[in-house]
Chains A and B, each alone.
Chain A
């Protein structure tokens, strides 16, 4: 079974731009969660989608948004990029989200200049 895939792997943007990251979960997994990893803050939860609905949201500003498609693939979007958005963005998929282990993709490394 193929693992979680994320595209692109690396991205360079400038302040004020917007970016869209993509995540394809493990086949059969319906829950997709997004996390941001930075050296200072560690791994922080952004949001979780299940059956095309955002089910849970972390403590991030509204510039961070996401969506999930009927095939469970998910995208996250960050608008009006700031320097502090430079991070590794990780996507994790699980069967149902509830009482099931989350499996992570390799991440997208975003650098904002």
Chain B
């Protein structure tokens, strides 16, 4: 039972354009969401997070949007750069003191020069 789903295994975008990565979740107890970027042979790098009390969080070129009613979040990267090419994972955690992260399967983003 996949509680966090990233339905697009890959995405290609032209440099300078917007990249939109999507993530859906099923567990209504999730209240904290994160995006990580991962290069091969490295651990995931934290990008941006959002709590369920917000619907948008911005950090530079990265913006995360949360639609609680649709149980959907998205990561927007504007403008996209070749160095953004990596696998992007969304992750979610629920209420309580134990912050177990449940990850999606990842989306490979390729930014073409």
Contact = CB atoms under 8 A, between A and B. Distances in A.
Partners in one complex: yes
Interface of A: 4, 6, 31, 33, 35, 42-45, 48, 50, 55-56, 58, 90, 92, 94, 96-107, 109
Given A90-B43, A101-B49, A109-B41, A42 B99 contact: no
B30 interface: no
Contacts of B103: 35, 42-44
B32 interface: yes
A67 B47 CA distance: 28
B99 A94 contact: yes
Contacts of B42: 106-107
Nearest to B4: A42
A98 B97 contact: yes
Interface string B86-106: 000101000011111111111
Contact of A56 (B34, B44, B91, B100): B100
How many of chain B's residues touch chain A, expressed as a range? 20 to 34
Interface of B: 32, 34, 36, 41-46, 49, 51, 89, 91, 96-106
Nearest to B102: A45
Most chain B CB within a 10 A radius of its CB, from A4, A45, A96 = A45
Contacts of B44: 43, 90, 104
Contacts of B46: 101-104
**Which secondary structure characterizes the binding site on chain B?**
loop
Contacts, number: 69
**Which secondary structure characterizes the binding site on chain A?**
strand
A104 B43 contact: yes
Nearest to B99: A97
A6 B103 CA distance: 21
A87 to B, nearest CB: 13
Given A43-B44, A43-B91, A44-B103, 16 more contacts: A33-B100, A35-B101, A42-B104, A43-B101, A45-B102, A48-B99, A50-B97, A90-B44, A92-B101, A97-B99, A99-B51, A99-B99, A101-B46, A104-B36, A105-B43, A106-B41
